[in-house]
Amino acid sequence: MFKSILIDKIDSQYKVELCDADESTLPEGEVVVDIQYSSLNYKDALAITGKSPVVRRFPMIPGIDFAGTVASSSNPDFDAGMPVVLNGWGVGEVHMGGLSQKARVNGDWLVPLPEAFDAKQAMAIGTAGYTAMLCVLELENHGVTPDKGDILVTGAAGGVGSVAVSILSKLGYRVIALTGRPEESDYVTGLGAAEIINRSELSEPGKPLAKERWAGVVDVVGSHVLANACAGTQYGGVVTACGLAGGMDFPATVAPFILRGVTLVGVDSVMCPKPKRLEAWERLGQDLDLSKLGSIAHEIGLSEAIDTAQDLLDGKVRGRVIVDVNR
């Protein structure tokens, strides 16, 4: 038997509880993992609260990522005892997820845990940090180097934003951090931000083109913030979009793209091909200052995850939330 958070929907009644289960309840898969740590992400919070139809199959164990060790495997790439990490692939949505003490998954979804991290550190980074690294890789792949200009990071006090600020500053970029929580200014500055602007500067309808302020953008907000971020991007700049905390809409014009040659790059972490995942995790081992993980993440037990989910949606949680599934 093992403990997990279980979401069910019976006669339109949405139910979430911490319960006991056994391996027979887990879906088919090649690899059984003893989970040590998971995390609580924005998508997990939506799933737990039912605020958005994230869960597409019931019953469901939420949790879009986890880290642990292989318990048993029929996949030749993974042996018992091997440390592994998983991000995305629909776990916590259509396949039982990581807010549990055990998981059974397709071996192709797993990535060997880099030697630079233990399981707790891997989840302090988690899907949010891995997504941030994917955004940084896209900026680099499109030629945005530190000498080209500033980088705007939106939602800078959140999970993706916190890791993005830390990585970019270590790589030598000058980071402008956008946040709606001015009380977190010291925290964001401590991660390496050189300048902080209030979310209100970009959250209202703006002009098709604004003053050129940054060479690149990591955006987790969407909506008017993304539109205004594009409008303020300098000639030839690159905007990476990976989130929708402010909405799914994109009320923009083509002006930044056809008059300034701005590139808008979509970044998906869920179905991202394995070679990119391996590259992102390898680079995280090189370019993330692990000493900052203590300030980026805080730990809760599995029993606390349900209550913490609403706080995360309400913007009361900064950085990353690690979940120790064994307490």
The one-letter code for the residue type at 1 is M
CA gap 164, 153 in Å, rounded: 7
Environment class of 92 (CB within 10 Å of its CB; exposed 0-12, middle 13-18, buried 19+):
buried
Spatial contact of 117 and 285, defined as CB atoms under 8 Å apart: yes
The one-letter code for the residue type at 9 is K
CA gap 210, 230 in Å, rounded: 9
Question: Do the domains at 2-113+292-324 and 126-266 have one common CATH topology?
Answer: no
Per-residue CA distances from 64 to 89, 104, 154, 262 (Å) = 8, 13, 22, 32
According to DSSP, the β-strands at 320-324 and 297-301 are: parallel
Instruction: Write down the pLDDT at residue 55.
Output: 95
Instruction: Write down the pLDDT at residue 20.
Output: 95
R_g over Cα of the chain = 20
Domain extent listing, the chain: 2-113+292-324, 126-266
**Helices H / strands E in the chain, number of each:** 9, 15
Angle between helices 42-49 and 305-313 (to 10 degrees): 110
The helix or strand, by DSSP H or E, that contains position 66, with its residue range, turns out to be: strand 65-73
Query: Domain 126-266 falls in which CATH fold?
Result: Rossmann fold (3.40.50)
The CATH class for the domain spanning 2-113+292-324 reads: alpha beta
The one-letter code for the residue type at 263 is T
According to DSSP, the β-strands at 320-324 and 195-198 are: unpaired
Q: Quick: pLDDT tens for 121-144.
A: 999 999 999 999 999 999 999 999
Instruction: Write down the pLDDT at residue 49.
Output: 95
Query: How many other C-beta atoms lie within 10 A of the C-beta of residue 294?
Result: 10
Taking the chain (327 residues) in consecutive chunks of 10 residues, what is each chunk's mean pLDDT?
95 93 92 97 94 92 97 96 97 97 97 94 94 98 98 95 96 97 93 96 97 98 98 98 94 98 97 96 94 91 95 89 96
Instruction: Write down the pLDDT at residue 12.
Output: 84
The helix or strand, by DSSP H or E, that contains position 69, with its residue range, turns out to be: strand 65-73
